Each structure stands twice: as C-alpha cells, then as structure tokens.
C-alpha cells in the first residue's frame, strides 16, 4: 500500500513529468540549433572547427538553462518558495556580474569574434601594433605569435580593430630598375612576355602576373613595375620564385639588372 502511494504521489509524478518534458525540450532545441548553425555554416562558409565550437557553446548554454529551470520547478513541487529563491539568485547574480564584468565582456567579445568570423587559428592578423599568427582563440583571450617568436595574449574585450591578412588575396608589387640604354619599347615587349612566361611557372598566385608599365623615370634609370596577387602566407615564397625567374629571363633577354635593383614592395 505504501509502495502504491509512493508511486502515485503527486509530487513524484510532477517531478518525473518535469524531467521528461525538459529532456524533450532539450532535444527539440538541439535539433533546431543544429539546423540554424548548418544554415549559417553554408551561408557564411564557417569552417568545421568554428562550427563545432559554436555548437558546443550553445548546447551547453541550453543545457544549463534547462537544468536551472528544472531544479526550480522540482523545488516548487516539493513545497519550497521558489520566488524567494529567484530573488536570492537575482541578488547573487547581480553581485557576481559586477565582480566578473570584465570576464563577461571577454566572453561575449569572444562569441562575436567567432560569429562574425573575424579571424581563425592560423590567420595572420594585426591587432593594434602587434602582428602575427593566431595560435589560440578562446572566449576570454586570444594569443598571437609574431614572426620572431614573441607571443602576445590579448583580452578579447580589447580587440576593437583587426587587420586580417589571411582573408583575401594580397597585392604584391615588384619594381625593376634599368638604365636608359635599354629601349623603352623593347622593355615593354620583353617584360610583357616575361610576365606571360611567369604565369606558367609560378604557383600559388591568383589570376595573372601583370605588367603595369613605367612606375618612375629618373635621370639615370627607368623603373618598371609588375604585380601579382597571392595569399599572405604564400607571398614570401612566391616573391622569391618570381625574383629568381626574373633574373634568369632578363639575362636571357640581354637586360642587365643588378640584383639589388629588383625591389619588392606592397600596396597599390
């Protein structure tokens, strides 16, 4: 008889129903979240690591929220005054939020960095005056390693402006300085043919290597310019390969250009 009364106890039934409903709500919200994230993933080209990070984050937020709701519902069924508990939690949360406001700012800034796809691990970025590779991206801080090995740890809330060199192809320029003894019409023809030849030899470039024409004229020399686009991480190796081939092809065309006069520069 006592067992029968225990099984059909109203409080126990409410508790069981609450737990079942919360599990159902959790799985429904999880399915909805996965569909939303999948849609955003294909729309914004979010990589798999970033997608998994976002998924785990939001699933944990949903899970903890439902656990808190479930505990409050069960406590209410057991006869506790939930309103007093909520009021106490509100005061506690306010005190906690004030003491952890910088950490909360870091947390939400980290979320927005991921959601807006500002940068990812492996990207080359410049934050403030520090430039390097992103080696860690968390919800509190970001770590960047410079070319010379220094690692800078930056609180996410302090990341207000970012230059990302890895998102798009960068434009690179090479100046070729020759003296006036070389006919300008001949140089146009030679450099145009060299650029077409380089297109077939040089890898990791976007589009074609382009001959832009005369960049500058001095009393002693004429400066010609060529340009190419490549990913930032490939720029150094591509430049070296182009300079090597330029030396060879210019020599074959009887154009004497000393090595120091092959100048690499950046920008438009």
Q: Which of 56-60, 92-96, 194-198 has the lowest mean pLDDT?
A: 92-96
In this prediction, residue 48 carries a pLDDT of 66
In this prediction, residue 152 carries a pLDDT of 93
pLDDT at 189 over 50: yes
In this prediction, residue 144 carries a pLDDT of 92
User: What six digits make up the tokens of 179?
Assistant: 């003296």
pLDDT at 26 over 80: yes
Fold of 118-164: SH3 type barrels. (2.30.30)
Q: What is the 3 state secondary structure string of 46-92?
A: CCHHHHHHHHHHHHHHHHHHHHHHHHHHHHHHCCCCHHHHHHHHHHH
pLDDT tens digits, residue range 135-148? 887 778 889 998 88
Distance in angstroms (rounded) separating the CA atoms of residues 143 and 125: 11
pLDDT at 265 over 60: no
Distance in angstroms (rounded) separating the CA atoms of residues 9 and 5: 6
Q: pLDDT confidence of 154, banded at 50, 70, 90?
A: very high
Distance in angstroms (rounded) separating the CA atoms of residues 228 and 205: 7
Q: Give phi and psi for 47, each to the nearest 5.
A: -75, 165
pLDDT at 268 over 50: no
Give residues with Cβ within 8 angstroms of 189, minimum separation 6. Answer: none
Q: pLDDT confidence of 151, banded at 50, 70, 90?
A: very high
In this prediction, residue 153 carries a pLDDT of 92
Across 186-211, average pLDDT: 88
Quick one: CA torsion of 181, 183, 189, 190, rounded to 10 degrees?
-10
R_g of the chain computed on alpha carbons: 31
In this prediction, residue 95 carries a pLDDT of 55
Q: Provide the 10 A C-beta neighbour count for residue 192.
A: 14
Backbone torsion region of residue 251, taken as left when φ is above 0, otherwise alpha when ψ lies between -120 and 50, otherwise beta: alpha
Give residues with Cβ within 8 angstroms of 5, minimum separation 6. Answer: none
CATH of domain 2-99: 1.10.287
pLDDT at 5 over 70: no
pLDDT tens digits, residue range 89-142? 665 555 555 555 777 788 788 878 877 778 887 888 899 889 888 888 777 888
In this prediction, residue 94 carries a pLDDT of 56
Across 243-258, average pLDDT: 82
Asked if 144 and 236 count as a contact pair (C-beta separation under 8 A), the reply is no
Across 3-18, average pLDDT: 63
Q: pLDDT confidence of 7, banded at 50, 70, 90?
A: very low
Q: Within the chain, how many helices (H) and strands (E) appear? A: 7, 9
Instruction: Give the class (CATH, top level) of 170-266.
Output: alpha beta
- Largest Cα–Cα separation, the chain: 114
87 versus 249: which is more confidently predicted?
249
Asked if 20 and 70 count as a contact pair (C-beta separation under 8 A), the reply is no
In this prediction, residue 177 carries a pLDDT of 86
User: What six digits make up the tokens of 160?
Assistant: 């207000």
For the chain, percent of residues with pLDDT exceeding 90: 5
Across 200-205, average pLDDT: 85
In this prediction, residue 260 carries a pLDDT of 47
Q: pLDDT confidence of 266, banded at 50, 70, 90?
A: low
Hey, is 12 helix, strand or coil? helix
Domain-wise residue ranges, the chain: 2-99, 118-164, 170-266
Provide the whole-model pTM: 0.51
């Amino acid at each position: 008889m006592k067992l029968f009364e225990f099984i059909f106890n109203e409080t126990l039934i409410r508790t069981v129903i609450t737990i079942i409903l919360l599990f159902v709500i959790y799985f429904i919200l999880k399915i909805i979240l996965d569909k939303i994230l999948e849609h955003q993933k294909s729309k914004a080209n979010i990589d798999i690591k970033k997608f998994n990070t976002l998924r785990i984050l939001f699933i944990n937020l949903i899970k903890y929220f439902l656990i808190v709701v479930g505990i409050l519902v069960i406590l209410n069924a057991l006869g506790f005054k939930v309103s007093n508990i909520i009021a106490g939690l509100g005061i506690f949360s306010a005190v906690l939020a004030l003491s952890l406001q910088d950490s909360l700012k870091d947390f939400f800034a980290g979320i927005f960095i991921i959601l807006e796809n500002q940068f990812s691990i492996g990207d080359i970025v410049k934050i403030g005056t520090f430039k390097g590779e992103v080696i860690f991206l968390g919800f509190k801080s970001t770590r960047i390693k410079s070319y010379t090995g220094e690692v800078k740890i930056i609180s996410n809330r302090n990341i207000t402006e970012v230059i990302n060199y890895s998102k798009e192809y960068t434009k690179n320029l090479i100046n070729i300085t020759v003296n006036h003894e070389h006919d300008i019409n001949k140089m146009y023809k030679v450099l145009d043919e060299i650029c077409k030849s380089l297109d077939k030899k040089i890898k990791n470039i976007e589009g074609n290597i382009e001959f832009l024409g005369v960049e500058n004229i001095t009393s002693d020399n004429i400066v010609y310019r060529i340009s190419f686009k490549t990913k930032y991480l490939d720029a150094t190796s591509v430049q070296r390969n182009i300079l090597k081939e330029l030396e060879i092809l210019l020599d074959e065309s009887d154009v004497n250009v000393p090595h120091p006069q092959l100048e690499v520069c950046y920008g438009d």
